[in-house]
Each structure stands twice: as structure tokens, then as C-alpha cells.
């Protein structure tokens, strides 16, 4: 498909497993894929912005939350659909950076919540260790590269960071949000 790019692996896990990384947008194989192409839009639908904003999606940080894989598969099927007009429009306007499984070691070991190092990776974002938490470091680097100067003013190029989970007690669909903006110095 012309609008997907296997950009990975983004890094290797503790046990050496490749961590997959996929980019989905129009012109994904061209160097300028992150810019709006006026030829892809009608005069009425042409966005004012010159650059596409980014949505980062991660899944399966907690190995026991298998429904995260099903949600990620459904999202990837939707956003790469050749026939869905909404997916096509989203690809014209946004760049989707997808890491479908950020804890492959935990999945392979049969852990419920932790990685090979015995840590909950979602609790390591403030201060990850490069040797023990290489995937967390890679995700943080990916986000920082979207906006290298975290003190810069203006609109953030990252529209959303979506970390797909399941829950042992909550039912249906729900969301948690960050305490600080995504590029706050307390995260990066």
C-alpha cells in the first residue's frame, strides 16, 4: 500500500525482539509525507496548515490486556482501508505512527503486566533506564523528534497519543488523559 510504511523496528526489546513500527499517511514512502499536498484536496477541503499533525498509537504495554491487540488490529484495518472515505481523509490530514506491541517480551513470557525487567513500562516514562526500558526510551525519542524544542511556542505537531489498554474492572469504553500537556518537561 502506498500509504503505509514499515518504519521499524523502532528498537529491540530486552531479549532482542524487534519492536514493530508502522507509519500510515498519504505518500508514506516520500520524504515529504508529513506535509499537506494541495493536489490531494479540493479547494473547499484544503487545510490551512502546511504540515500534517501526528497521532502516536501504542498497544499491548500490559501483556495480559489482550483486547489491546484486537483494538489495534481494528484500528490498523480501518486506517489502511482502501474503500473507507473517512480513513482516506484522515490519511491526507494526519500522520499515524503506530507501535502495535510495545512489550513483546512480556507477551512472550506470559506476564500479565510487566516487561522482562519486571517493570510496568507505563510507570517508567518519567525516568526510564536505557538498558532496562529501551522501548520506553524509543517512544520518548519518537515524541521528542516531533518537536525537538519542547519550549517552542505554537501548535503542537502531536495531536494525540493513544495508548490502547484493557481494564480488569471498567466496562465498555473509557479514557484517561495526561496530567500535563504531552510535551511538558516532566515527561521528556
Domain for residue 188, yes or no? no
Domain for residue 84, yes or no? yes
CA-CA-CA-CA torsion sign (111, 115, 119, 122): negative
Per the structure, the count of domains in the chain is 1
pLDDT at 148: 53
- Tell me the mean pLDDT in the region 95-118: 94
Contact between 90 and 49 under an 8 Å Cβ cutoff? The reply is no
pLDDT at 84: 96
Q: How far apart are CA 30 and CA 1, in angstroms?
A: 13
Res 102 pLDDT > 80 = yes
Look at 19-23, 43-47, 114-118, 169-173 and tell me which has the smallest mean pLDDT: 169-173
Domain for residue 179, yes or no? no
- Tell me the mean pLDDT in the region 104-129: 93
pLDDT at 29: 83
Contact between 185 and 79 under an 8 Å Cβ cutoff? The reply is no
- Percentage of the chain surpassing pLDDT 90? 54
What domain range is 76 assigned to? Answer: 4-164
Q: Which of 3-7, 41-45, 155-159 has the highest mean pLDDT?
A: 41-45
pTM for this predicted structure: 0.87
Contact between 78 and 3 under an 8 Å Cβ cutoff? The reply is no
- Tell me the mean pLDDT in the region 107-136: 93
Q: Which comes out higher in pLDDT, residue 34 or 180?
A: 34
pLDDT in tens, 48-98: 878 888 999 999 999 988 888 999 999 999 999 999 999 999 999 999 999
Long-range residue pairs from 11-14, CB within 8 A, at least 24 positions apart, any chain? 11/134, 11/135, 11/137, 11/138, 12/134, 13/103, 13/104, 13/105, 13/115, 13/116, 13/134, 13/135, 14/105, 14/115, 14/116, 14/117, 14/132, 14/134
The grid coordinates of residue 51 equal 504540515
Res 12 pLDDT > 80 = yes
Domain for residue 131, yes or no? yes
Domain for residue 181, yes or no? no
Q: How far apart are CA 54 and CA 68, in angstroms?
A: 21
Contact between 187 and 126 under an 8 Å Cβ cutoff? The reply is yes
Res 107 pLDDT > 90 = yes
Q: CATH number, domain at 71?
A: 3.40.630.10
pLDDT at 45: 82
pLDDT at 187: 58
Amino acid at each position: 500500500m502506498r500509504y503505509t510504511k514499515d518504519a521499524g523496528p523502532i528498537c529491540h526489546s530486552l531479549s532482542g525482539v524487534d519492536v514493530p513500527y508502522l507509519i500510515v499517511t498519504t505518500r508514506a514512502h516520500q520524504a515529504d509525507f508529513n506535509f499537506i499536498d494541495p493536489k490531494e484536496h479540493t479547494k473547499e477541503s484544503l487545510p490551512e496548515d502546511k504540515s500534517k499533525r501526528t497521532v502516536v498509537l501504542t498497544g499491548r504495554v500490559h501483556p495480559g490486556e489482550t483486547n489491546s491487540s484486537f483494538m489495534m488490529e481494528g484500528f490498523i484495518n480501518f486506517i489502511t482501508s482502501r474503500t473507507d472515505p473517512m480513513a482516506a481523509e484522515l490519511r491526507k490530514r494526519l500522520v499515524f505512527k503506530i507501535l502495535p506491541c510495545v512489550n513483546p517480551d512480556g507477551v512472550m513470557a506470559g506476564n500479565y503486566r510487566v516487561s522482562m525487567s519486571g517493570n510496568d513500562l507505563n510507570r517508567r516514562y518519567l525516568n526510564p533506564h536505557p538498558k532496562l526500558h529501551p522501548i520506553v526510551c524509543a517512544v520518548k525519542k519518537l515524541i521528542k523528534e516531533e518537536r525537538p524544542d519542547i519550549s517552542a511556542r505554537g501548535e503542537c505537531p502531536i495531536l494525540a497519543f493513544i495508548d490502547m489498554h484493557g481494564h480488569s474492572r471498567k466496562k465498555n469504553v473509557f479514557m484517561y488523559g495526561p496530567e500535563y500537556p504531552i510535551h511538558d518537561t516532566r515527561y521528556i
